[in-house]
Amino acid sequence: MKSILDYETVALIDEDDAIEIIDQTLLPGKTEMIRLHTGKEIWDAIYLLQVRGAPAIGVTAGFGIYLLMKHSEADSYEQFMEEFGEKSDYLNSSRPTAVNLSWALKRMESHVRKFYEEIASSNDGTVDAKNSAGDFSEKKSLIIAEMKAESERIKKEDVEVCRKIGEYGVELIKDGDGILTHCNAGQLATCKYGTATSPMYLAHEKGYKIKVYCDETRPLLQGARLTAYELQSAGIDTTLLCDNMSASLMKSGAINAIFVGCDRVAANGDAANKIGTSVVATVAKRYNVPFYVCAPTSTIDINTPTGDDIKIEQRKPEEVTEMWYKERMAPEGVKVYNPAFDVTDNELISGIVTEYGVLRAPYDEAIRKLFE
């Protein structure tokens, strides 16, 4: 029987000018693959959480900007880059908190500019050395081919990075440990392994008898619908709990470590993750449970000094008042506070697990050294 782990979270279907994704809003009841062709479809899929998780969003952005520029009718480099900027800004507006979205789009833009400089000045006969309007069509085809290659490299690197995070993270786990996680930083949030779940998958591969506890993660229930689903599919001992039950679980001694993902890490180590994460971290501090944030370096934003500088997305009130109910469960007209994320202060974080190792406090120094 095919498991959810056998599907690709994000795939480029180049011959159909499409990105194929699992529609995660339908899980776990229905596994449906959908194809995104237009900018609007890609934007909607990111905003509506049909594709979600910072790394998967980054991969989607790379494929997306390639597809949107694939059939560009620009007849000069300047026109091409102006069109690129407009479409990039549009995609980037879909989720403001997840830094991998802007990171991937900036990476694609930077690569295009660098590649263009190389081919525009080449003397090997591939293209004319002069930047004349007449020869841009040939340059454009080379640029678009290179955009495809770069977008595929982003996906390949995501798999490699998640595996490395797992290798460093599994060293923090012992056989028999109870592990708590919040939201979904699993394979469904990446292209393979996940970030927070990668150490769990590798521990399972080693034969460790771990027990994983998943917060349901209100209001969108990514922990219940996604994390519990994929971990159970992998054969890992999985228990689901409501968000307000984690404190009693930690107090009981059942939890030996906590692993969460994140959508952005500030330069000082503050980490933005799904709403409720900071509550888990605060309680973990009270009960001396180590709290680890799993983050690829693409999620670390050295241009954001602290968590106070991270823009937090506010979502529709209907997600709280009626989304999962047959009938509305809150009074009409009541005001709703519905931030998608909160920021966990760096002092609550035991370590930040990256593909280069585990960063420890003081995080501003550790992050600076990492990027140097």
Residues identified as active-site: 263
Which position has the token pair 């841009």?
136
Question: Pairing between strand 271-274 and 264-266?
Answer: antiparallel
The strand pair at 33-36 and 178-181 is best described as unpaired
Map residue 33 onto helix, strand or coil.
strand
**Of 61, 3, 15, the residue nearest 229 (C-alpha):** 3
Q: Which helix (H) or strand (E) holds 118?
A: helix 99-120
What is the identity of the amino acid at 161?
Answer: V
Query: From CA 163, how far away is CA 169, in angstroms rounded?
Result: 10
Nearest to 348 by CA among 272, 265, 261, 290: 290
Which amino acid is located at 185 in the chain? Answer: A
Distance CA 12, CA 62 (A): 10
- Specify the DSSP element, H or E, that contains 333: none
